[in-house]
A and B are shown apart, each in its own frame.
Chain A
């Protein structure tokens, strides 16, 4: 997995504007703003949980 890239200042301003105007949802804003930053552990845990659930279903 490659290192997530920081979102540029211009792109951030654009995303904030799009969200404020209602063009994108909060989830879309969150995903684009984070772009994987601070999210490694959460995603790894989610994958682990999904595997566990599929094993016992």
Chain B
């Protein structure tokens, strides 16, 4: 088949044949047309000497103006991006600062929470000590001072800044012989032996006022005027604050049994939470003091 086609072409292209002449004429016309088009494009500046189109080249090459515009646009975009980055940095810093503040607040809250749970454990153990003392009366009478010192340790150890405040606790009860005075009943460690000798007046002393009114009496600074306080007792000034809490059962004055006083070395030693805790503690030890004092009264009066 292929061989047949080759033979046919050879026959057509044989010199002197009609097809050969026709082919030559067509070829010549084509060459002339190409030459005319080339000359026309070259003369009108549309192409160069080698026939390359100038328009396409110009289109392909960006002009300097375009390039400058592009650079300006890129610079504007760069500035905008830098501003955005700066603003994001500021936002990140602000959020970090907020996170740090939140963490600090949380830690402060957690510290208070931990202190509350610690106080709960101290209440539980204080109650346990009171129960043991009430259940084992013989041991209580033999070791009363030590038992109270240990009980007061639970109270003192819940007060913040114990080393700076140096809290001292003392309980006074009704004097069996002097109706205008209270008498020492128990005290914490840190007191001198003279604490036993002091008998607060029911009028004109802080403990006396708490006894009289059956209400808490807190003096943040004993040096302040207009506070009911026996100034003769603190001539060495080893404390500036004093809190007196009546040992009572409800508001019935006939059921009050004594006054628990806590002193503090600096002025304004106690915050309201500490005062609340001391009041709770006073309530916890009330049954023990009540039973003991009532029993003594019975023995005293037959």
Q: Which residues of A contact B (CB under 8 A)?
A: 6-7, 9, 12-13, 16-17, 19-20, 22, 26, 29-30, 33-35, 37-39, 42, 45-46, 49, 53, 56-57
Contacts and interface: CB of A to CB of B under 8 A. Distances in A.
- Contact residue range for chain B? 20 to 34
B114 interface: yes
B103 A33 contact: no
A30 B118 contact: yes
B120 A20 contact: no
B124 interface: yes
A30 B160 CA distance: 11
Contacts of A30: 114-115, 118
Interface of B: 99, 103, 106, 110, 113-115, 117-118, 120-122, 124-125, 128-129, 132, 150, 153-154, 156-157, 160, 162-163, 189
Q: Is the interface of B mostly helix, strand, loop or mixed?
A: helix
Contacts of B114: 30, 39, 42
Top 5 nearest A-B pairs by Cβ distance? A16-B153, A38-B117, A30-B118, A38-B120, A34-B121
Contacts of A45: 110
Contacts of B120: 37-38
Given A16-B154, A19-B157, A33-B122, A39 B128 contact: no
Contacts of A12: 125
A49 B113 CA distance: 14
B125 A57 contact: no
Nearest to B125: A12
A9 B110 CA distance: 28
A22 B157 CA distance: 12
A33 B106 contact: no
20 contacts: A9-B129, A16-B153, A16-B154, A16-B157, A17-B153, A19-B157, A20-B153, A22-B163, A26-B160, A29-B157, A30-B118, A34-B121, A35-B121, A37-B120, A37-B121, A39-B117, A49-B106, A53-B99, A53-B103, A56-B99
